């Protein structure tokens, strides 16, 4: 592997930002912005980095750009934390090829969701997992994202998938805390699995339920808030955790600035742009927030003390 890969502690715990992909145009990385972003999240005490997920706009990026992002991210992280790489694709062979590129670049694990576009039945989804996982060169995290894939990993499907030792955990972005609690029962069968929650407004509840951490978008622009909440909960300091949770909810207003589902990613990218970290160019078909929306995001950040003085 290129430079080796960071040792993956099992079960992996803590806060792992689903890194946005800084872009300068439709097929060009904001390389300097990527470096600043990585140093920003690492400085916030995160426990890993996840690239090419939903927040990273992976399905909208060319295969060439995805490979460049993997290579540059692993090189910039320098094994300080594990790098997890999303390899979900509509084409089986492209997922496998991307996973091998991730391994050769020094990633620690890959993240795999249900192939999108054609919705699978649960038996088909299980068969897919059973076929592809043995061909992947790295440990695998299952990614449950039914809003995007149109398919939810049912508990029995996950139970059968847990028979594959190469699978070591999952990220749940279903938005249902009751579903997450049911999934946590799999710890009895696979105590080495890590269970992460995606939606950050559910982070506190997920940690209370016994989850191992969060893969939360807020960790892109305010990593120390997310890691502080995790640390407080991990140490049983629930009063502090609740206080940080309230701040997290206030910052979540940036996701409701726009009118469409794309507003979540636009909000994160806009915040990072206002903070001087990276470009807010969006992968097509979307475009960045315009000045009125940008002003509303800035107001939220200013109230929480996140804007540089030059913007205040």
If we measure between CA atoms, which residue out of 55, 78, 69, 65 comes closest to residue 2?
Answer: 78
CATH code for the domain of 177: 3.20.20.70
Q: Is residue 192 part of a domain?
A: yes
Q: Is residue 160 part of a domain?
A: yes
Within 10 Å of residue 166's Cβ, how many Cβ atoms? 13
Q: How many domains is the chain built from?
A: 1
Domain range enclosing 130: 14-251
* pTM of the complete model: 0.95
Q: Is residue 269 part of a domain?
A: no
Q: Is residue 260 part of a domain?
A: no
For residue 62, give the 3-state DSSP assignment.
coil
Q: Is residue 281 part of a domain?
A: no
Give the per-residue pLDDT at 312: 46
Q: Is residue 284 part of a domain?
A: no
pLDDT (average), residues 279-286 = 97
Q: Is residue 125 part of a domain?
A: yes
Q: Is residue 42 part of a domain?
A: yes
Which pLDDT band, with edges at 50, 70 and 90, does 118 fall under? very high
Report the alpha-carbon distance of residue 186 to residue 183 in Å, rounded.
6
Query: What DSSP character marks residue 259?
Result: S
Do 269 and 30 form a contact (C-beta atoms < 8 A)?
Answer: no
Do 224 and 305 form a contact (C-beta atoms < 8 A)?
Answer: no
pLDDT, tens digit, for every residue of 213-232? 999 999 999 999 999 999 99
């Amino acid at each position: 592997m290129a430079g080796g890969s960071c040792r993956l502690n099992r079960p992996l715990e803590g806060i792992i930002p689903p890194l946005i992909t800084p872009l300068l145009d439709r097929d060009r990385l904001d390389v300097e912005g990527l470096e600043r972003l990585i140093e920003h999240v690492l400085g916030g005490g995160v426990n890993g980095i996840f690239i090419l997920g939903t927040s990273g706009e992976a399905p909208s990026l060319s295969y060439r750009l995805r490979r460049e992002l993997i290579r540059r991210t692993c090189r910039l992280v320098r094994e300080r934390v594990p790098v997890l790489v999303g390899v979900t694709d509509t084409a089986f062979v492209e997922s496998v090829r991307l996973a091998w590129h991730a391994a050769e670049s020094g990633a620690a694990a890959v993240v795999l969701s249900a192939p999108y576009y054609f919705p699978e039945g649960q038996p088909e989804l299980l068969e897919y997992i059973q076929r592809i996982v043995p061909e992947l060169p790295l440990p695998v995290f299952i990614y449950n994202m039914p809003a995007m894939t149109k398919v939810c990993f049912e508990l029995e499907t996950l139970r059968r998938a847990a028979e594959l030792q190469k699978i070591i955990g999952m990220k749940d972005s279903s938005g249902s805390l009751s579903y997450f609690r049911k999934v946590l029962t799999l710890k009895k069968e696979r105590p080495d699995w890590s269970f992460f929650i995606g939606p950050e407004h559910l982070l506190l509840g997920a940690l209370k339920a016994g989850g191992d951490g969060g893969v939360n978008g807020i960790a892109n622009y305010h990593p120390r808030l997310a890691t502080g909440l995790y640390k407080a909960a991990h140490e049983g300091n629930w009063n502090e955790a609740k206080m940080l949770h309230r701040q997290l909810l206030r910052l979540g207003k940036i996701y409701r600035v726009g009118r469409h589902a794309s507003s979540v990613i636009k909000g994160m990218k806009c915040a990072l742009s206002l903070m001087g970290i990276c470009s807010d160019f969006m992968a097509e078909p979307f475009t960045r927030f315009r000045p009125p929306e940008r002003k509303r995001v800035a107001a939220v950040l200013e109230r929480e003390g996140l804007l540089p003085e030059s913007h205040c």
